[in-house]
C-alpha cells in the first residue's frame, strides 16, 4: 500500500508547489475513518482510495481532486459528515466528496429504478464540477482491476454497467486510454473465452511474423529521418476488446482483420504533423476512406489528431495517429487536461476545452426530451457517437455523429429546416434522405412549404435532437387530426339528442370528466380514448338514456315529404352524422350526397334541384355500406385478423374486392355496413392501428355514380 510520502512524491513529479499538508491530512483522515474496514479481497479498505488517488496523479490533476479521491468513500461508508470534511479540508473538497457520494448512490444498472432519471442526476452532478466524474471513473477503474475478489454475479453486473455507461463516458470525455482499459477489463468478465481466443491468436501471429510493432516503428522512423522530420514514434497492438468489436462490426475472422496495430507519431509543431503525413503517404499507399483530420476539425472534447490508415509491411493495414505534444496531452487526458499540470505549472494547454462549455454542449440538446426514455436514448447516442464534419453551402461547418443523415443535418441547422425537408444534395448531387454522411461533404437541404415530418423518419435519423423534434411534430400533428375528428364526432352526438355543441358545453364536460380543457376533450374523443356518447351522458344523462329505438333506414333523412324515397349516392356513400344535400332526378327520386362531394359541381347552376336535408338525430341501424380502400401486408393470417377486427367493432363486411396483388402487399376494397360516421371512424381507427395495415382510406369513386345512375335509368 502506498504511504502518504510516496503519494505526495507522485504529485510533486508534476506539481512541485503541491499542498503537501492538505494531501497528508486527507490521507491520515481517510486512514482513520476506514480503520478496521476490509475489501472483498481481505486487504485494508483504505488501499482502494489510495489507488484511486494514484490513478488521478497519472492524469496530473490538482490537489483538491487528489484529496477528494482519498476521502471519496468517507461520507458513505464511515461516520464522517459533509460538515466535518468542509471544516477540515474546505468547501471545495467537501463539495467534490459529496458529489462523488451522490454518484455512488445512483443504482445505474438497477431494474428497479429509472435509468434515464439516474442519467439526469449523473449529468447534473457532472455539470456542477466535472472533477466529480473523474474521481468516479478512477474509482470504477480500480474496482474493475480488482474485480476478481467479488462474487461472480456481482462481477457480471459491474462489468455490464461499466461497458454500458462508464467506458463510453470516458471515451466521450476524451480519455480513450481509460475507455480501452475499462472495456477490456469488462470483456475479461463478460466473455473470457472470446478474450482468451484473441490473445492466443495474437501469440500465434507474433510467433509467425516476429515483433511486427517494432519492425513497423523502425520503418516509420526511417522515413521521417529521410524527410528530416523530428518526431517520437510509438506502436502497440490494439486491445483484445477493440479487435473483438471490429470482428463483430465487419463480420470478419481474426485472420482477415488487418488493422490490429496502431501507431502514434508525436511532433513538435502542427506544420510537422502534415509533413509526417506526407512522408507516410509517399512511402505507403493510403487506404481510401480511412483518413480523418481532427486538427482542422477538432472533436467537441478538444481532441486533435490526424488519423490515416496505410498498407504497410507485407500489406498489413496500419493505423497511424499524428499530433503535437500538446495535442497528445489532451488526447490522453481529454477534458481532464483543463486541470492538468506541466513543468510544475497549471497547464495552459490551448487545445484543452473548458469543462463548463463541454458539459453544456453535451446536455443542451437533452432539454427537449419530454420523457425519460427519450432522454436515455439521447444520452447513449451522444456518448457512443464519433463525429463527422460536413459543410453548409455557405461553407459553415456542422458537426454530426457518425451515421448521421441529411435529415440529421437539417435538424442540426434548425428544427424548421428539418420539419420542412423534402430532399438533399451532397456535393451537388441529389441523394436519398437515408444516405450516411461522410467527412468533408457539402450538404444542401431542400425544403418545401407545408411539408411535415413523416413517421418513417424516426428510423432514418441518428441523432437524439432529430428524433425528439420528429416525435414532437408527429404528436402535434396527431393531436390536430384527433381534435378535428373528435369535434365532428361530438357534433354528431349533440345533434342525436337535439342539442347544439358550444364551447361552454365542451368546457363544462371536460371539467367534469377530469380533463384540462375542451381541446383535450376533443383529442380524447378523436383518438377513441373516450366515446362521444360519454360526453352526452356527462352533460345530459336523461337525454342519453332516452334515445329510443334504432331508426329504420327508410325514415333516416329529415326534410323530405312523408312518402318521398331517397337513395345514397354511390360516389360519396354518405352515412348518418355527415352533412348532406339532396339532388332530384327527373322527379323520380332524390339522391343524397355529402356536402363536400365533388359530384355536386355539375349541379351548381341547377339550384332548383337541390334539397336541404339532414340525418335523423336518433340511433341508426348498421345498414349503410361504406367502401374502404386498404393496403395490407401479404402475410398469413393478416386478412383474417383484419376481418375479425371489423366484426369486433359490430360492423358487417358485405363485399371484398382485390385491386392489386403483390408478393409483399395486397391492395383491396372492403365494403362495410355501418351505423353512422362515428361507427365509421371507430372501424377505421381500429384498422389503422394494426401494424400490418400500411394505409387505409375511404374509397370514393365519382365514375361509380354515373354507372349506377345510368343502370337504374333515373
Are 120 and 245 part of one and the same domain? no
Are 223 and 247 part of one and the same domain? yes
The tally of domains found in the chain comes to 5
- In a domain, residue 583? The reply is yes
- In a domain, residue 32? The reply is yes
Residue where a domain stops, chosen among 162, 190, 218: 190
Are 9 and 132 part of one and the same domain? yes
Would you state the pLDDT for residue 7?
93
Q: What share of the chain is helix, strand, coil (3-state, %, to 5)?
A: 50, 15, 30
Residues of the chain where predicted confidence (pLDDT) is lower than 50: 110-114, 255-256, 365-372, 384, 547, 706-707, 710-714
CA distance 676 to 621: 8
Residue 223: give its domain's CATH number.
Answer: 3.30.460.10
Are 685 and 633 part of one and the same domain? yes
Are 340 and 277 part of one and the same domain? yes
Cβ atoms 96, 134 nearer than 8 A:
no
Residues 19, 77, 84, 223: which is the catalytic one? 77
Side-chain half-sphere CA neighbours of 705 within 13 A: 21
Would you state the pLDDT for residue 259?
60
Residue 664: give its domain's CATH number.
Answer: 3.30.70.260
Are 178 and 313 part of one and the same domain? no
77 a catalytic residue? yes
Residue where a domain stops, chosen among 146, 172, 190: 190
Are 176 and 205 part of one and the same domain? no
Are 494 and 540 part of one and the same domain? yes
Residues 35, 76, 386, 712: which is the catalytic one? 76
The closest alpha carbon to 106, from 129, 124, 130, belongs to 124
Cβ atoms 581, 611 nearer than 8 A:
yes
CA distance 712 to 459: 52
Would you state the pLDDT for residue 499?
81
Would you state the pLDDT for residue 230?
92
* pTM (two decimals): 0.53
Are 480 and 524 part of one and the same domain? yes
Are 517 and 567 part of one and the same domain? no
76 a catalytic residue? yes
SS3 (DSSP) at 291: coil
- In a domain, residue 326? The reply is yes
Are 280 and 186 part of one and the same domain? no
Residue 128: give its domain's CATH number.
Answer: 1.10.3210.10
Domain that holds residue 654: 624-712
Q: For residue range 350-386, what is the model confidence (pLDDT) as tens digits?
A: 555 555 565 555 555 444 444 445 555 555 555 545 5
Amino acid at each position: 500500500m502506498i504511504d502518504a510520502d510516496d503519494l505526495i512524491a507522485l504529485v510533486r513529479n508534476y506539481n512541485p508547489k503541491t499542498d503537501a499538508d492538505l494531501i497528508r491530512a486527507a490521507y491520515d483522515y481517510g486512514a482513520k475513518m476506514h480503520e478496521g474496514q476490509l475489501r472483498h479481497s481481505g486487504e485494508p479498505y483504505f488501499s482502494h482510495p489510495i489507488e484511486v488517488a494514484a490513478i488521478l496523479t497519472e492524469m496530473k490533476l490538482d490537489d483538491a481532486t487528489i484529496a477528494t479521491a482519498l476521502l471519496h468513500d468517507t461520507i458513505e461508508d464511515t461516520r464522517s459528515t459533509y460538515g466535518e470534511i468542509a471544516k477540515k479540508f474546505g468547501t471545495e473538497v467537501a463539495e467534490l466528496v459529496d458529489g462523488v457520494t451522490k454518484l455512488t448512490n445512483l443504482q445505474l444498472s438497477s431494474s428497479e429504478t429509472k435509468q434515464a432519471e439516474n442519467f439526469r442526476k449523473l449529468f447534473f452532478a457532472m455539470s456542477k464540477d466535472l472533477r466529480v466524474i473523474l474521481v468516479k471513473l478512477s474509482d470504477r477503474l480500480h474496482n474493475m482491476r480488482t474485480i476478481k475478489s467479488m462474487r461472480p454475479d456481482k462481477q457480471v453486473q459491474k462489468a455490464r454497467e461499466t461497458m454500458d455507461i462508464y467506458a463510453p463516458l470516458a471515451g466521450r470525455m476524451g480519455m480513450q486510454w481509460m475507455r480501452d482499459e475499462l472495456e477490456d477489463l469488462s470483456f475479461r468478465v463478460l466473455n473470457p473465452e472470446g478474450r482468451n481466443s484473441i490473445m492466443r491468436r495474437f501469440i500465434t501471429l507474433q510467433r509467425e511474423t516476429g515483433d511486427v510493432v517494432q519492425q513497423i516503428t523502425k520503418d516509420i522512423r526511417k522515413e521521417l529521418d529521410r524527410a528530416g522530420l523530428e518526431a517520437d514514434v510509438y506502436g502497440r497492438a490494439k486491445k483484445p476488446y477493440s479487435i473483438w468489436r471490429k470482428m463483430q462490426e465487419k463480420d470478419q475472422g481474426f485472420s482477415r482483420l488487418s488493422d490490429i496495430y496502431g501507431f502514434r507519431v508525436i511532433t513538435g509543431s502542427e506544420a510537422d504533423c502534415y509533413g509526417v503525413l506526407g512522408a507516410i503517404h509517399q512511402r505507403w499507399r493510403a487506404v481510401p476512406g480511412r483518413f480523418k483530420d481532427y486538427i482542422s476539425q477538432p472533436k467537441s472534447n478538444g481532441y486533435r489528431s490526424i488519423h490515416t490508415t496505410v498498407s504497410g509491411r507485407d500489406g498489413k493495414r496500419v493505423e497511424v495517429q499524428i499530433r503535437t505534444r500538446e495535442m497528445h496531452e489532451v488526447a490522453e487526458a481529454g477534458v481532464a487536461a483543463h486541470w492538468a499540470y506541466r513543468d510544475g505549472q497549471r497547464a495552459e494547454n490551448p487545445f484543452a476545452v473548458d469543462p463548463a462549455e463541454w458539459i453544456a454542449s453535451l446536455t443542451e440538446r437533452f432539454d427537449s426530451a419530454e420523457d425519460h426514455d427519450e432522454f436515455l436514448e439521447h444520452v447513449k447516442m451522444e456518448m457512443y457517437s464519433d463525429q463527422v464534419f460536413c459543410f453548409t453551402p455557405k461553407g459553415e461547418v456542422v458537426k454530426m455523429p457518425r451515421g448521421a443523415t441529411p435529415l440529421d443535418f437539417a435538424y442540426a441547422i434548425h428544427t424548421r429546416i428539418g420539419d420542412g425537408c423534402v430532399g438533399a444534395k451532397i456535393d451537388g448531387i441529389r441523394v436519398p434522405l437515408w444516405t450516411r454522411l461522410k467527412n468533408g461533404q457539402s450538404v444542401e437541404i431542400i425544403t418545401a412549404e407545408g411539408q411535415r415530418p413523416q413517421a418513417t423518419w424516426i428510423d432514418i435519423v441518428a441523432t437524439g435532437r432529430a428524433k425528439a423534434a420528429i416525435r414532437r411534430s408527429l404528436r402535434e400533428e396527431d393531436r390536430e387530426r384527433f381534435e378535428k375528428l373528435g369535434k365532428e364526432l361530438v357534433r354528431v352526438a349533440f345533434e342525436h339528442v337535439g342539442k347544439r355543441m358550444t364551447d361552454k358545453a365542451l368546457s363544462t364536460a371536460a371539467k367534469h370528466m377530469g380533463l384540462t380543457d375542451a381541446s383535450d376533450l376533443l383529442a380524447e374523443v378523436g383518438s377513441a380514448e373516450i366515446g362521444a356518447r360519454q360526453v352526452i351522458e356527462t352533460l345530459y344523462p336523461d337525454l342519453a338514456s332516452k334515445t329510443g329505438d334504432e331508426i329504420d333506414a327508410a325514415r333516416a333523412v329529415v326534410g323530405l315529404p312523408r312518402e318521398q324515397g331517397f337513395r345514397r349516392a354511390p360516389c360519396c356513400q354518405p352515412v348518418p352524422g355527415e352533412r348532406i344535400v339532396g339532388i332530384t332526378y327527373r322527379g323520380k327520386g332524390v339522391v343524397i350526397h355529402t356536402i363536400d362531394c365533388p359530384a355536386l359541381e355539375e349541379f351548381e347552376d341547377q339550384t332548383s334541384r337541390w334539397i336541404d336535408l339532414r340525418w335523423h338525430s336518433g340511433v341508426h341501424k348498421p345498414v349503410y355500406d361504406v367502401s374502404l380502400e386498404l393496403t395490407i401486408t401479404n402475410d398469413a393470417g393478416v386478412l383474417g385478423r383484419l376481418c375479425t377486427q371489423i366484426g369486433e367493432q359490430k360492423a358487417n363486411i358485405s363485399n371484398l374486392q382485390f385491386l392489386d396483388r403483390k408478393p409483399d402487399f395486397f391492395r383491396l376494397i372492403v365494403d362495410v355496413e355501418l351505423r353512422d360516421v362515428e361507427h365509421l371512424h371507430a372501424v377505421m381507427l381500429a384498422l389503422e392501428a394494426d401494424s400490418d395495415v400500411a394505409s387505409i382510406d375511404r374509397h370514393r369513386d365519382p365514375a361509380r355514380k354515373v354507372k349506377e345512375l345510368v343502370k337504374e335509368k333515373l
